Structures are given as C-alpha cells and as structure tokens.
Amino acid sequence: MNSTNNTPISEELNSPDTSANVRKSSLCKANSTCNKSATDVTLKQLFEQRTSDERAHNIAQKMLDNCSFSAHLGIELVDARAHYSVCKMKVESKHTNGHDTCHGGAIFSLADTTFAHLCNANNQVVVGHMCTIAYWQPALIGDELYAYAYESGVYGRSGSYRVEVTRGKNGDILAEFQGFSRALKGKMHF
Amino acid sequence: MNSTNNTPISEELNSPDTSANVRKSSLCKANSTCNKSATDVTLKQLFEQRTSDERAHNIAQKMLDNCSFSAHLGIELVDARAHYSVCKMKVESKHTNGHDTCHGGAIFSLADTTFAHLCNANNQVVVGHMCTIAYWQPALIGDELYAYAYESGVYGRSGSYRVEVTRGKNGDILAEFQGFSRALKGKMHF
Amino acid sequence: MNSTNNTPISEELNSPDTSANVRKSSLCKANSTCNKSATDVTLKQLFEQRTSDERAHNIAQKMLDNCSFSAHLGIELVDARAHYSVCKMKVESKHTNGHDTCHGGAIFSLADTTFAHLCNANNQVVVGHMCTIAYWQPALIGDELYAYAYESGVYGRSGSYRVEVTRGKNGDILAEFQGFSRALKGKMHF
Amino acid sequence: MNSTNNTPISEELNSPDTSANVRKSSLCKANSTCNKSATDVTLKQLFEQRTSDERAHNIAQKMLDNCSFSAHLGIELVDARAHYSVCKMKVESKHTNGHDTCHGGAIFSLADTTFAHLCNANNQVVVGHMCTIAYWQPALIGDELYAYAYESGVYGRSGSYRVEVTRGKNGDILAEFQGFSRALKGKMHF
C-alpha cells in the first residue's frame, strides 16, 4: 500500500519537497550518466558514454550525408548521442502548403529523420514501422524548427521513441511525434 | 438477437451467398450513389453528386497549384471527388534516404497531401491535427506511388480519413495512413 | 497517365456511372468471394471459404469462452469469418465512468476483443502490439454496441485491422479502432 | 548556428558534464517547482502548487469514487497532482484473456482512467478523443500494475498526455499510452 494514497496532500505541507514521490517519465533519462555530479561518475563510465555518444554522432552524420531527401529539405544535424538526437530545419517557401504555413509532411519528415538517427544509433539496421504525429501550432516561413528525439524504451527488437518539434531552439512545441522501430538483421557498417 | 450468433456456420451452407450478413466498412461508401445501377439514380441525385465532385476537384487542383511543397516532391492530382481523392508521386533519387529506398517522410507527405484535398473538399478550412502511418513495404526508385484517400466519417467539426499508398495504380499497399481533421471557421473561397 | 487527371468532371456527365474509376479501400474486401453472384463462384471456392469461415468462428468462440475479461464485460460473439468479425456488448451501469456514459476503456475492450478474434482467425498465435482509438460520440446506458472488425492487410508476420464500433446493429459509428498485430511462432490448437 | 553542430564530441571530453546541452523532454516537468531546492522556492509558490495539487487530488478521488467501471476493474488511486497522476490495478483472473495474461483492454482501461484524472485536474470538463497504446510485455496474474500519467502539453482546448504502465511500482514498462483530450465548456463542480 502506497502511503501517498491515504495521506491528504495537506498533511505533507511541512515537507518542502514533495517531488520525492514523483516518478520520472522514461523519457527523462537522456544522458542520465551525465546528470550525476562529476564526483559520482567514474572515468570508465564517462569513457563508455562518450564512446557510444561518439558512435551515435558518427552514424547520424553519415546517415544525413547519404540522405538526399533530408538534404532536399534542408535538414541539419544539431546533436546526436546514444539516447538523444537533435536536427533542425528552417522553413522556407519550398516547405509551404499554399497557406504560407509549413506543410505537415515537412514537419513530419524533420521528426522522422531525427527519429531515424536515434533508433540507428547502435549501428544496427533499424526501420520505423509505425509513427504518429500531432500538430499543435502552425510553423511559418522563417521559423527555425528543432526536432528533439528521445528514446522511450527498447524491447527486444522493438523500440519506442518520442520527438518534440519546437519553434526555435528550446521554443514552443509545435508537434509531437511518436515512432516505433524494429531492428532488422545486419549492421550498418558505419 | 442476431440469428448468426446462434446458427452454426455449417447450417448456412445451403445458402450460396452468406455475404448478406456482412456489414460493409464505412470506408466502402466512396461514390455510393454511383454504385447503384443507373436506373436507381435520379437525374437530380446525379447532378448533385457531380456538383460536389466538381467542387472537390476544383479545390484539390487549386490546393495543389498553391502548394510549393507538393510541387517540390512531384505530387500530382489523379482524381478528386466529394468523398474520395487520389494523388501520385514517382520515387526519384531526391526522395531517397541513403538506402535507395523512399524516405518515410516522402510517403507520409504524399498521403498527407491527398488527405488534405479530401478533408477540404467541402470548401471549409479544415486542418489535420493528428495522423498515424504504418509502413508495410519499402518504396524504391522508379516506383510510381498512388495515394487513395477515403472519408471514414465526419462528426461535427471533426473528420476521420484513411489513405492507402500503393506501388503502382491499384498495386500492393506500401503504407496505411489515418488522418484526423478539424474544421476551422471560414471558407476557402475556391 | 490516368485520363481522369485531365478530363474535366463535367465532360463525364454523359456517363451514368463514374464509379468505374473509383478504387475500393482494402477494407471493402470482406467476403469478396460471396460478393460475386452465385453463378460466378465454383463449389470448390465456396467450400474453401466456408471452411476458413468455420475455423474462424470456432476460434473466436473458443477465445471468447476462455476470456474471463470479456465475460466480465458482457461481450458476446455475433459473427466471425476469415476476414471479418463482429461482437456486441450492452452498456450497463458497470461500464460507466460517473457521467453515465460508457468508459472509454470498455469501448476499447470491445473493439480489442473483436480485433483479437479476427487476427487469430488463421489459428496462429497472433498478438496485438499497437492500437489506436478515436471516440466520436458517447455511448449511454442501454446502448447495444456492435464492433465490426475488418482485415486491412497481412504483411509477413504483421497484420493491420480496423474496427468500427456502432450504436446498435449497423448504427452510427461511435468509435474507430485500428489494431496492428504480430504473429508469434506456434499454433493455437483450436 | 549551434556550436554543438560543429564541435566533435571528442573535443568535449575535458568537460565532465555534457548534459548541459541536453534539452529535457516536455514530459520531464512533473512538479518542476518541487525540483528546485527548498531555498529557491518561495512560500507563495509552494502554496499555489499545493493548492492545485490538492484540487487535482480531490478531483481524481471524486472521479474514481463515481466510476463504476474502474471499481469493477479494481483500479485504485495512488497519487494525483496538477501535472502528474498515478493509479494501480492488481491483475486477477477476471482481467485475463484465456492465455493467463492480462487482456489488453484492462491495461488500456487502467491507463485511460489515470489519463482522465490528469486531464480533468483543472476542474474543467475534458474528454479524451484519441488514444494510442503500444504493448511491450504481457502482464500476468498477480502483477500489480502502476500507471504513471504525465502532461505533455496543453494547447488551447487540446491537451496531450503520456501514460507509462509498469509491472510493480517503478518497474519495467509494459505499455505506453498516449492520450489526446479536448476541453468542453463547463466545470466539473468538484
């Protein structure tokens, strides 16, 4: 029995920090090693993380270099780590749909590319097989869109990822993307 | 009480046609007026359908003419009616993702454009706010992709649509797209 | 090149039936054998269909008999065929959420059960791994809900299905459900 | 231009903490006030948070008390705050589907109930209109399932939420649920 179930919130007012009982979403784990203070982390842990982050970065860059569709849309790599990946795209007239707003397909493509980098970060061939996207606000010409991809979980050969698309770096969320992936057999040889 | 509930299938073997009990999906209604034989349809019904089909066609053509993103991807209008819309796109190297397969974002964009035509066919400003896509087979350079959009239902200001993307006209389904729309206030004035 | 692309709709007005150019959704194929007139169908085809329909019916009945959750909710089998499955559930006070409307989870469960019958109709162990549901209208106490499940496509070990939940037999659509399945190794031995 | 775009990861090895550049997912904000150290938070902020948390808790409890479907399934309230909500349910034989695993509809219902508490936490009548669920592992008889709901974003009258269902408190994720809500006019009067 969980005590918070029965304790009125008001009785907890003496405690300045009730967050001790709040579980973090699985999406909050990005670079969890780094979240520890430097003294908690051994050099070995740091080195291993850097190695997997470096590999993820190299893979993302290679994937982007080979992806003519992303080049066509002007998608650029911002950051790529083992469990976290970021791309950006500036909305130009070529992305618009006639209402001077960015076509939903262009926003989806930015999110999908970032998702692809992240789910392939382990150097295994992984493909997206199912995605959802929700649009919250329109993107306009001149907006610089950032897509932040988070690993939610990997379960056997399946993976689950979330991408948030914002207007400007760390700006308002314009769209939320969810991607489900499946690992095929074979390495990417990056 | 539904008799099929209690009647063993085997007892129905005398009847050559058991389809009488099969309800059609709401997605089977495309041009249901036309599905009646010519003698069942009055001239008035035909004229009304043609009018709404013509309007849908004009709107789709105008939307496509104004959509620089679709032009950029090479999306073409094939057919547009009141409850049914079709576009196509030939996969070229500019659509690929480095594995010589079509980028998921390009397939999504084709489906999304076709969905947009259909949900705006009534000349009201309607926006997609949530979409899902499932990928079943890769599309390759040279493939001519067709997106067939069907209206599933309109409920107040919300609408639900399904798009099937095939390799070649009427070919294998490569992707299934589901789009949910919401009508804003205002006419498109097409 | 599709002629409908360039032919103004108005020019086709002489033809009483423009539906010749309308592709049917993949969801319209339920019992397509039966849709042919009796004289088009050989006895062999009829027998094979009856056999797979009978197996589907037996599997659905066995699954339902063993499913204590469905029994708990009052879900009943209405029809089950190789590519089509129907269940129903009467909304009682036990299904409500405090606003005297049916809990979304109860509607989902009805759709999910019907989906499970259909994707297992081939006597292979198949599990749902991803579902979406959209709610269009509330269900009220006394409503008899029908869930109609359609096979959209099977691609290797993956399958895609659509379920429409209606108020009353063949009534208004209250909810649309999409289910994606994956076949495991092994038979169900039904 | 973002400097992380051009700086090789390897050059950053001198810095023990590269997480400074990692943007947190919008889902990491649960009780962000509380995450500050006690000295950063004014008494006024604390009081306001407690007030909205208390209201959220009262609303969740009232909703659950009135929800006969949740009672029927054995769903219990664990925690409810302004941007975070938790329920639990013990898997019994009544939840199973014949394979001695928990029916997907029961898992969905637990997540949906928790989502409903959270999106109504502001005392406005809010309904879910679209949900997705992905199943990663089966739940078995005896498992105590926890559903943790997080607010992802509220955009005008629309809201977006994520629910993670775990085996045991803070255990492995069995299912991921995404819920989209829409506020109706009117207060709940709790």
Distance CA D165, CA D112 (A): 11
Angle at D55 between CA D51 and CA D57, to 5 degrees: 115
What type of residue sits at position C34? C
Q: Which residue has the tokens 């919300």?
A: B158
Question: Taking CB atoms and an 8 Å limit, are D105 and C104 in contact across chains?
Answer: no
Please check whether the domain covering A41-187 is classified as CATH 1.20.140.10: no
Question: Taking CB atoms and an 8 Å limit, are B148 and C4 in contact across chains?
Answer: no
* CATH class assigned to C44-187: alpha beta
Residues of chain C numbered 91-130 and touching chain B (CB < 8 Å): none
Nearest 5°: phi and psi at A115?
-60, -45
Structure tokens at A51: 């190695």
Q: A132 to chain C: which residues are within 8 Å by CB?
A: 132
Strand, coil or helix: what is C118?
Answer: helix
Per residue in B48-93, pLDDT (tens digit) is 888 899 999 999 999 999 999 999 999 999 999 999 999 999 999 9
Record the pTM. Answer: 0.88
C39: pLDDT confidence band, cut at 50, 70 and 90? Answer: low
Structure tokens at B85: 């819309």
Distance CA C169, CA C146 (A): 6
Above 90 in pLDDT, residue B12?
no
Distance CA D144, CA D92 (A): 9
| Distances from the Cα of B129 to the Cα of A75, A97, D133, angstroms | 23, 15, 18
pLDDT at D97: 92
- Give domain B43-187's CATH superfamily: Hotdog Thioesterase (3.10.129.10)
Query: Which residues have a Cβ under 8 Å from the Cβ of B190 and sit 6 or more positions away?
Result: B55, B58, B59, B62, B63, B123
Mutation pick from D77, D131, D163, D178 vs chain C, by most beta carbons of C within 10 Å, is D131
Termini Cα distance of chain D: 50
Instruction: Please indicate if any CB of chain A lies within 8 Å of the CB of D41.
Output: yes
Q: Which residue has the tokens 């005896």?
A: D142
Distance CA B176, CA C153 (A): 10
Distance CA A28, CA A149 (A): 12
Q: Is the ipTM of this complex over 0.90?
A: no
| Distances from the Cα of C169 to the Cα of B22, C74, C93, C141, angstroms | 11, 16, 21, 16
Per residue in D118-159, pLDDT (tens digit) is 999 987 889 899 999 999 999 999 999 999 999 999 999 999
Structure tokens at B118: 């259909």
Contact predicate A117/A57, CB 8 Å? no
What type of residue sits at position D172? D
Instruction: Please indicate if any CB of chain C lies within 8 Å of the CB of A158.
Output: yes
* Integer-rounded Cα radius of gyration of chain B: 19
Residues of chain A numbered 2-31 and touching chain C (CB < 8 Å): none
Mean of the pLDDT values across residues A77-82? 95
User: Quick one: CATH architecture of D42-187?
Assistant: Roll (3.10)
Domain range annotation of chain C? 44-187
Of A132, A170, A128, A164, residue with least CA distance to A147: A164
Termini Cα distance of chain A: 50
